[in-house]
């Protein structure tokens, strides 16, 4: 998995309201091949009253999305691309396959 926390991605498939959304990755779950994207795949969660939250209630929470449903987004060209790895000056650098620019 070449995506990391903090990367900007675009949702390419999924629900009608989420498709086309450009947002940052909050968390990466590599063993499940999933990512948590900010403001995408929101689900309502019912909370029982507790000492921390005495009222309880309903909150909206982001749920994980499969990695195959998102693509790396280039802000400069405003396009999506797959990521590749090149070695420059002895270090691995992530690049956009479409443009060849560094990510």
* Average pLDDT per block of 10 residues along the chain, 103 residues long: 93 93 97 96 95 93 96 94 94 93 87
Nearest to 70 by CA among 3, 4, 11: 11
- Report the pLDDT value the prediction gives residue 7, as an integer from 0 to 100: 95
- Give the gyration radius of the chain's Cα atoms: 17
pTM of the model: 0.84
- Whole-number Å distance between alpha carbons of 17 and 76: 24
- Report the pLDDT value the prediction gives residue 76, as an integer from 0 to 100: 92
- Report the pLDDT value the prediction gives residue 1, as an integer from 0 to 100: 78
Q: How far is CA 21 from CA 9, 16, 71, in A?
A: 8, 10, 11
Q: Residue 33's Cα: distance from chain center in Å?
A: 11
Which domains, and CATH codes, for the chain?
8-75 (2.30.30.30)
- Whole-number Å distance between alpha carbons of 63 and 40: 8
């Amino acid at each position: 998995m070449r995506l990391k926390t903090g990367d900007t991605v675009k949702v390419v498939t999924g629900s009608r309201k989420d498709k086309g959304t450009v947002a940052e990755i909050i968390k990466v779950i590599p063993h499940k091949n999933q990512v948590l994207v900010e403001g995408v795949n929101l689900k309502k969660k019912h909370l029982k009253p507790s000492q921390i939250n005495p009222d309880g209630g309903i909150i909206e929470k982001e749920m994980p999305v499969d990695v195959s449903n998102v693509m790396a987004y280039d802000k400069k060209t405003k396009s999506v691309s797959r990521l590749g790895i090149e070695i420059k000056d002895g270090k691995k650098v992530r690049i956009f396959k479409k443009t060849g620019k560094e990510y």
